[in-house]
Amino acid sequence: MGVSIKKNDFVLVRKGKDRGKKGRVIRVFPTERKALVEGINFVKKHSRSQGRQQSGIITMEKPISIANISYFCMKCSHASRLGVKMLEDGSRSRFCRKCGELLEAK
């Protein structure tokens, strides 16, 4: 089963500590079924000094499960599922299931 969320999609967090927040997908990890979303799931990491890098507590983003996010359609301003349509020229395109807007051709 493939992942319908792609890089640069705008998503809404449905579950977890950042519930209700929106952000753009930076990277998708399909084998782990996770996505790295801009401004979501910040954690603090304690780092040791290495060469020029100073030691301390670093705040960084961690990937979030794809099951906990959903695509946010800018046209209808709602979170929705995505469908796939076959176009006349034979290419496939994703679309918003609520308003029917095509996203892009594959």
Domain boundaries, the chain: 10-105
Domain 10-105 has CATH 2.30.30.30: yes
* Res 95: pLDDT: 92
- What one-character-per-residue DSSP string does 48-106 give? --BTTBPPEEEEEE--EEGGGEEEEETTTTEEE-EEEEE-TTS-EEEEETTT--EEEE-
* Res 1: pLDDT: 54
Per-residue pLDDT of 51-81, as tens digits, reads: 888 899 999 999 999 999 999 998 999 998 9
Assessment of whether the complete model's pTM goes beyond 0.75: yes
